[in-house]
Amino acid sequence: MLLVLTEKPEEIRKEILLGMGRWISLKPEETFLLSSSKIRNRGFWSCIEWKIPRILERSELLQLRETFAKKNTDLIQVNRLLDPKEKVFSRLIWILL
């Protein structure tokens, strides 16, 4: 999953769908997933949850981040979102102790 942090989520989504990420070799199903991806809003920033079904190569991810940086946007790749009900940090502390 890619999390895209931006001030203009619809503009960024449109640019990707129209070819901004052409060098990434987007497959039709990946493009479809982006077109229907969830957008979370918090203040001035939004986060697009792009559930891409593959892990991008490091070079692809770096190129994509470089391209997005020109649009005042960034992204990270994660396996899944954290469960807000799960006490991840407290469990981590117990493991470290």
Helices (H), the chain: 9-15, 28-35, 58-69, 88-96
Distance CA 83, CA 65 (A): 26
- pLDDT tens digits, one per residue of 9-57: 998 888 878 776 555 666 777 777 888 788 888 788 899 988 888 888 8
Residues 6+ apart with CB under 8 A from 92: none
Give the structural domain span for 70.
Answer: 2-96
Domains of the chain: total: 1
pLDDT confidence band for 6 (50 / 70 / 90): very high
Identify whether the C-beta of residue 10 lies closer than 8 Å to the C-beta of residue 34.
Answer: no
pLDDT confidence band for 93 (50 / 70 / 90): very low
pLDDT confidence band for 97 (50 / 70 / 90): very low
pLDDT for 94: 45
pLDDT confidence band for 7 (50 / 70 / 90): very high
pTM: 0.72
